[in-house]
Amino acid sequence: MSGATQLPLEFDLRPAYGGEDFLVSDENREAVLWIDRWPDWPTPVLCVHGPAGCGKTHLAEVFRAKTGARALSHADLAGDPPRDPAAAAGAWIVEDADAYLAGSDPEPLLHLYNQVAEGGGRLLLTGARPPADWPADLADLRSRLGALTVAAIGAPGDALIAALLVKLFGDRQLRVGADVVDYAVRRMERSFAAARDLVGRLDQAALAERRAITIPLVRRVLERTGNDEDP
């Protein structure tokens, strides 16, 4: 599939699982710098927070690829956390920790925090809001959440979404024009997940119709998915 000259990609890349890469931008640079510093963190626990679709899960995958961290689901956290400091050495991940606290016993998260700290491990927590705003009913847990290292990720801006689209098209060996990328960026939901979904749908539609990816095709795909946010 061919089109106009492909846009250059001017963002740093960090490898992650699944053959993908994480694009480093102003919105996420602070969080990436802390991941790069592992295990040299000032506290045993790092919290990365930001709105849905900003790339927290993707960055957690970068961390897991870098460290071999074990990711604990909310069920794992409640049922099978490390039982002693020796077992908590190494690296750990709990995503959406604020959502866990909103509906579950906070004691397991406090226990994990303590075991990781005592065992010399490192724990990456993610959440939608800063940890000071998390619903923690235990005073000890609130104290620990107030003392950990925090890095915010902002919602992806136009430049980051454009770079992500270019990269995703390139991963599929699709060449698109700058006008197509600009049109999509101004009308789509601004999130990593939406970008991946849009490129996948455009690839399928272009293959099915044996045509290049053009603005009319982007418009039609966005209208089908209800994501056309025409300014």
**What pLDDT score does 2 carry?**
37
**Amino acid identity at 43:** T
C-alpha span between 178 and 8 (Å, rounded): 10
Instruction: Please name the residues in contact with 2: beta carbons below 8 A apart, sequence gap of 6 or more.
Output: 175, 212
Tell me the domains of the chain and their CATH numbers: 26-152 (3.40.50.300), 157-225 (1.10.8.60)
Residue 45 has a pLDDT of 98
More confident residue, 60 or 1: 60
What is residue 127's predicted lDDT score, i.e. its pLDDT?
Answer: 97
- What is the mean predicted confidence (pLDDT) over 133-152? 95
pLDDT (average), residues 134-142: 93
The rounded distance, in Å, linking the Cα atoms of 180 and 222 is 13
Instruction: Identify which has the larger pLDDT, 7 or 12.
Output: 12
User: With the C-alpha atoms ordered 116, 114, 150, 40, is the resulting torsion angle positive or negative?
Assistant: negative
Kindly state the DSSP code that residue 131 receives in the 8-state scheme. G
d(CA 122, CA 113): 9
The size of the chain, in residues, is 231
CB 46 within 8 A of CB 151: yes
The DSSP element (H or E) to which 158 belongs, if any, is helix 158-171
**pLDDT value, residue 42:** 97
On the question of pLDDT at 77 being above 70, the answer is yes
Asked if the model's pLDDT at residue 6 lies above 60, the reply is: no
**pLDDT tens-digit series, residues 10-23:** 566 566 555 467 88
What is the greatest pairwise CA distance in the chain?
61
Cα dist from 191 to 2, 75, 101, 111, 143, whole Å: 26, 27, 25, 33, 32
Whether the CB-CB separation of 104 and 74 falls below 8 Å is answered with yes
What confidence tens digit (pLDDT) does each residue in 67-76 have? 999 999 999 9
What pLDDT, on the 0 to 100 scale, is given for residue 39?
A: 96
Specify the pLDDT at position 11.
60
Sign of CA dihedral 49, 52, 54, 55: positive
CA separation for the pair 189, 225 (Å, rounded): 11
**Cα 187–chain centre separation:** 21
C-alpha to C-alpha distance for 77 and 159, rounded to whole angstroms? 37
Question: What are the tens digits of pLDDT across the range 27-44?
Answer: 999 999 999 999 999 999
Please tell me the predicted confidence (pLDDT) of residue 7.
46
